[in-house]
Structure 1
């Protein structure tokens, strides 16, 4: 099988939402847009010479004040597609205390920080102030930033509503509103919060909505809040990227754990996704005890710790990021060439966004999904929904084929930063290992056994089985 994309389902077709007014033509270069000299200088300094397709198509219309409905794969340049016109159109006028002039709503803290980091240099050059408003951080400091005056607020919906209710923020002066990753906000149950916020924004303002897919909840936002929008869709699937390879590796029982460990020990930056927070922590501890420089990322970590973890991953101090779906969107790290689904995702949208952490901005990468025999059918159906025909290969840990496909190798066994090595003795037998991310209602959990106990037991069984296989 090859991994070439197929046409995306009609339900993801944005064309039906196009407004009546024709769109302005796409540009070939930034020179055609009449951007301020400060902005052009920064773009050149960052090596951004030619607009990405979604920027070329939407920038002329967004700069003209049109509403925009855009779809583009992760890493396609969406942040500057909405960020540049937002900042350019706001330049020259200051906001009053507690009354921002623009609002960017995002689903996760990580995406909020990514947007802030991307826009901050341009905002500074134009004399504009940004405030980032997310959960997990001091609400008092965020309230102070709003009281001091910020032209642009970049926020997750829940925290911004808290500040509105405290009367630390008023939205009736907001002229430009951006919804980034609107489909994930809907998937996470934020639709009511988003609509409550949009109802507070003054009527007649500009709306820019970007989404990877359209479903019923996103349709509601488009129909209710966008007026005569320009519609542009580019690279509709996060998985249909030139240079991105998709592999399904079929493994058996306890070998799933050993296979994942050997892949983690490869050279290069790797993100590995698991289903639960507990399984992320346990697998990370195992990798560190095996000699792999790994770190965990999930929603129970404090925001300062999550920020430090991502910075360590970006600098190469950590080579493997083990995460739940919190890392599936809003994380941009260069040179991630491998994403591994140790536990398969729940649906095709999760798959697309997990995979979107690699092959960003024209790069290349591989997405690997480990499956047990009884998971193979469901995973292939999920990937068909994503418009993909992956290559399916049966592998075992320690085999040359696994190394050829992923760069896997045996870990050093020297614990990282004081992590304790495993002291378990080799022993034959034991129940089949059914995946690190065991969840209630799935096979592999004994009667009256808690999820935590089940995961601890399976990790122990997996380690014993792997050692027996290697003759240790």
Structure 2
């Protein structure tokens, strides 16, 4: 809950102390100054009581104050900034190419999720929304802006392109929201974010929301927020009592078998790996083992990514194998297991990956696979994230692995007509090292390929000599 004093300088906090708003008592949506249309839509959608981050920030946001909100991912931040934004825009009409409110997010998936979450309330208020992201038709987005949109949900890169094309002007934007502000800074979007904030109305309202608000955001806070109200609610994934954290110590050559058995469990599971190549490689292996898996990473087209997420949410796909592109902005009901096949290297990455489960009060487990040599580094990372995991040594086929994860043997019936390719017998490297770089081919596997090529060349030369002799 809200702390009565101030944010310090530990991991996940702001670089300079900022006074926190006083603790608020839980209130009902009906007690807030929300339009009747919004209250009616909340009731129709079965949303009765505000989550803590919503109860804390809505009164200040509705009053037009700048807000700095930190809440655990899955804690309801979208409605916390979305409802006051829409309420304050009610009755207004945007001119062509000149939106009145802007929500800036780091990924396409999060942009679509925010749009989907707010659309019913925007429709009730007759407000027009436009989603501006890469990987989709820029012509349609230009047309949507030209027709007029009061609220724009955008990723920084595509918004920058539209501004450069003079298809969008931000001078009339009165409310600007940065969702997952720290990730946008981490991803190198800071120059584009500051460019946007320099163009919106200088007296407008600014709201920054994220699961972590640390030093990366401090520059934006100092430069662009005016006397912000700061709310910190459920700051750490480690504080979520409905989330279990496990570190499973595995033997290197057994990693694929352990991962495959976890993926074959009953129920959905989200697997995180570091590279696009590793994601594709594991996905092929799982499907060849009879597991309904699909890949999600930035190398996929937006229609592919949208279709894959839809299939995962409706159960057609039971295993989503993904890079960190799925670590934020992905909400799936009843997702009770997240597995870090490649351990994260940053505490924030762990927090956001973990936040895909145990959302909105539900329970869930986060499992991280490590080799013996990775235990010390993983313990340090967990301590920084404020988490005390249960550490267990496991092997494929063991009852303990099944108890923790629900793992079971896969059917072995290929889904795409391809049998499982044999795995190298002595692979003691993380998944990120399997074919993900040039150096990865310089081990025993690389030497074997070179030897095979040399044998083939020698055989061809011998055959040529025989032909010449004939």
Q: Given that residues 24 and 60 in structure 1 are in contact (C-alpha distance below 8 angstroms), is that contact kept between their aligned partners in structure 2?
A: no
For the structure 1 residues 357 and 25, does the alpha-carbon distance in structure 2 shift closer, same or farther, using more than 3 Å as the test?
closer
Counterpart of 1:367 in structure 2 is: 366
Equivalent pair of 2:12/2:214 in contact (CA under 8 Å):
yes
**After superposition, what is the alpha-carbon deviation per residue over 1:54-104, rounded to whole angstroms, capped at 9, x for unaligned?**
000100010010110000000000000000000000010100000000000
The equivalent of 2:432 in structure 1 is 437
Q: In structure 2, what is the equivalent of residue 163 of structure 1? A: 162
Displacement of 1:34 after TM fit?
2.8
Give the alignment of 1:253-268 within 5 angstroms.
Answer: 253-268=252-267
3-state secondary structure, aligned to 1:345: coil
Alpha carbons 1:433, 1:444 under 8 Å: kept: no
On the 8 A contact 2:26/2:52 being kept in 1, the answer is no
Shift of 1:389: 1.1
432-441 or 383-392: bigger deviation = 432-441
Q: Distance in 2 between matches of 1:284 and 1:100?
A: 41
Task: Map residues 219-298 of structure 1 onto 2, 5 A cutoff.
Answer: 219-298=218-297
Question: In structure 2, what is the equivalent of residue 13 of structure 1?
Answer: 13
| Conserved 8 A contact 1:8-1:386 | no
2:341 and 2:41 mapped to 1: Cα distance? 40
- CA-CA distance at 1:422 after TM superposition: 2.2
Q: 8 Å contact 2:271–2:339 — kept in the other structure?
A: yes
Asked if 2 retains the 8 angstrom alpha-carbon contact of 1:18 and 1:228, the reply is no
Moved more, 122-131 or 237-246: 237-246
- Partner residue of 2:317? 318
Q: CA-atom RMSD, angstroms?
A: 2.2
Contact 1:288 1:419 in 2 (8 A): no
Paired residues for 1:43-442 under 5 Å:
43-416=42-415, 418-422=416-420, 424=422, 430-438=425-433
1:168-189: CA deviation from partner (whole Å, max 9, x where unpaired):
0000000000000000001101
Other structure's SS at 1:437 match: helix
CA distance in structure 2 between the partners assigned to 1:83 and 1:220 by the alignment: 24
Alignment partners' CA distance in 1, 2:421 and 2:123: 54
Unmatched 5+ stretches in structure 1? 1-6, 455-472
Q: Say if 1:373 and 1:173 are closer, same or farther in 2 by CA, change over 3 A.
A: same
Q: Take 2:79 and 2:145, find their aligned partners in 1: how far apart are those partners?
A: 23
**Count of aligned pairs between the two proteins:** 440
- Conserved 8 A contact 1:434-1:443: no
Aligned to 2:41: 42
Distance 2:9 2:291 in 1: 40
Given that 2:174 and 2:204 are in contact with CA atoms closer than 8 Å, whether structure 1 keeps it comes out as yes
Compared CA separation, residues 11 and 252, structure 1 to 2 (3 A) = closer
Take 1:237 and 1:8, find their aligned partners in 2: how far apart are those partners?
14
User: Post-superposition shift, 1:113?
Assistant: 0.4
Q: Which runs of 5+ in 2 are unaligned?
A: 1-6, 451-470
- 2:447 is the alignment partner of 1:446: no
Match of 1:254, SS state, is: helix
TM score, norm. by length of structure 2: 0.89
